[in-house]
Amino acid sequence: MTSQTKKFIEFSDILSVRFRCKRQDCGAELSLPLQSKFSGYRGADKCPNCGADWLVVTTGIGGSGSSIAPMLERIANSIHDISKWPGHFELTLELKPDPEEGE
């Protein structure tokens, strides 16, 4: 007999957004709470340890930067709004299983 366990998370269970530097020699982390409507990611513009740009990507030589900050703000505010939704359903996200736990 085969069994399967699935994990789900409610939007109201999401407490914060975590940033982790992808530079191999760094790995610093920054966690920002999602307590209410989010108004910006000013603290996450750059890695607090090595200074690498996190939210702005420069395209080409002398090119202008493209920021992901507005998209992150919309995501954070959407998570907040969905967690407070008074509708007659519950919306959850399924999480992929940990490799150690198997499927």
Q: What percent of the chain has pLDDT over 90?
A: 17
Mean pLDDT score across all residues of the chain:
81
Res. 98 pLDDT band, cuts 50 70 90: confident
- Residue 67's alpha-carbon distances to 47, 73, 76, 79, 81, in angstroms, are 15, 11, 16, 20, 23
Decide if pLDDT at 103 tops 70: no
pTM of the entire structure? Answer: 0.66
Backbone CA torsion sign across 69, 71, 73, 79: negative
Res. 64 pLDDT band, cuts 50 70 90: low
- 50 against 76, higher pLDDT: 50
